[in-house]
């Protein structure tokens, strides 16, 4: 699959690296090919291709958005037609002061992104944990139980595609419903950050799903 990354910092770089090593063609949609994050992503994995945002997105089947939430509008500007009909994996989180929801819990960040790119199939995924778990999500000793990746989106085929990438990355994808469910995922993120980074539990934990 051809995959483009808008944003290759803490979150984008390990995902890009691992997806490339799984055999995907992975391009960095770089506004500045010399930026620190691009150089570090390339140092981690020289097989990543660096392209202009429009070139990377135009040739991608699926695009990951992994920038700070407050820059998504500028990151997506001028890409609208290139993104039409494509799957956009929203890895961003709107985080406000004192670990509150950045949009005052009135609407999810993913839905506001969907409004920016109405012809794109937005799926929220790869958000509910710290980046450490995107680098390494192995949790030995739990048998067949895999760490859960909760996803949300309103298009079935787009979600199936993202779920397949989750599986390839050794996550158990869990479909939480349509894109409006992203608001709850964004609150889960705040919970994880609070537990891991504020209360001091550390980054080495994830959720799993037991069902009967």
| Contact predicate 2/23, CB 8 Å | no
State how far the alpha carbon of 99 is from the alpha carbons of 49, 95, 151, 190, 197, in Å: 35, 6, 21, 6, 11
User: What is the DSSP track for 151-178?
Assistant: EEES-HHHHHHHHHHHHHTT-EEEE--S
Q: Which residue is associated with the tokens 């620190």?
A: 36
What does the per-residue mask of binding to ligand NAP show for 136-175, with x meaning CB under 6 A? Answer: ----------------------------------------
Of 37, 114, 137, 182, which one interacts with ligand NAP (CB under 6 A)? 37
Helix axes 36-44, 12-21, angle to 10 degrees: 30
Instruction: Write down the least CB distance from residue 144 to ligand NAP, Å.
Output: 26
Of 131, 139, 205, 207, which one interacts with ligand NAP (CB under 6 A)? 131
User: What is the DSSP track for 54-122?
Assistant: HHHHHT-SEEEE-S-GGGHHHHHTT-HHHHTT-EEEE----B-GGG-BTTTTSS-HHHHHHHHSTTSEE
Name the residue nearer to ligand NAP (CB basis): 52 or 157: 52
Phi first, then psi: give them for residue 72, nearest 5 degrees.
Answer: -60, -35
* Site size with ligand NAP, rule: CB under 6 A: 26
User: What is the DSSP track for 128-142?
Assistant: SS-THHHH----TTS
| Contact predicate 152/176, CB 8 Å | yes
What does the per-residue mask of binding to ligand NAP show for 92-111, with x meaning CB under 6 A? Answer: xx-x----------------
Contact between 89 and ligand NAP per CB under 6 A = no
What does the per-residue mask of binding to ligand NAP show for 6-25, with x meaning CB under 6 A? Answer: xxxxxxx-------------
What does the per-residue mask of binding to ligand NAP show for 47-76, with x meaning CB under 6 A? Answer: -------------------xxxx-x--xx-
Instruction: Write down the least CB distance from residue 118 to ligand NAP, Å.
Output: 20
Contact between 33 and ligand NAP per CB under 6 A = no
Name the residue nearer to ligand NAP (CB basis): 150 or 210: 150
Which residues would be at the binding site for ligand NAP (CB under 6 A)?
Answer: 6-12, 31-32, 35-37, 66-69, 71, 74-75, 91-93, 95, 127, 130-131
């Amino acid at each position: 699959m051809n995959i483009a990354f808008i944003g290759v910092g803490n979150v984008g770089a390990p995902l890009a690296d691992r997806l490339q090593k799984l055999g995907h063609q992975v391009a960095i949609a770089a506004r500045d090919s010399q930026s620190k994050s691009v150089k570090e992503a390339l140092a981690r994995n020289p097989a990543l291709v660096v392209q202009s945002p429009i070139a990377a997105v135009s040739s991608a089947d699926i695009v990951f958005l992994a920038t700070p939430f407050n820059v998504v509008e500028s990151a997506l500007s001028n890409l609208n037609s290139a993104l039409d009909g494509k799957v956009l994996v929203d890895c961003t989180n709107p985080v406000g002061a004192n670990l509150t929801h950045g949009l005052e819990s009135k609407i999810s960040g993913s839905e506001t992104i969907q409004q920016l790119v109405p012809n794109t199939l937005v799926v929220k995924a790869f958000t509910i944990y710290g980046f450490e778990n995107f680098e390494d999500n192995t949790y030995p000793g739990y048998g067949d139980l895999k760490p859960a990746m909760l996803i949300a989106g309103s298009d079935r085929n787009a979600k199936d595609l993202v779920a397949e990438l989750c599986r390839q990355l050794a996550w158990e994808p869990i479909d939480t419903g349509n894109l409006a469910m992203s608001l709850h995922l964004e609150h889960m993120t705040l919970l994880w950050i609070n537990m891991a980074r504020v209360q001091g539990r550390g980054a080495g934990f994830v959720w799993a799903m037991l069902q009967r």
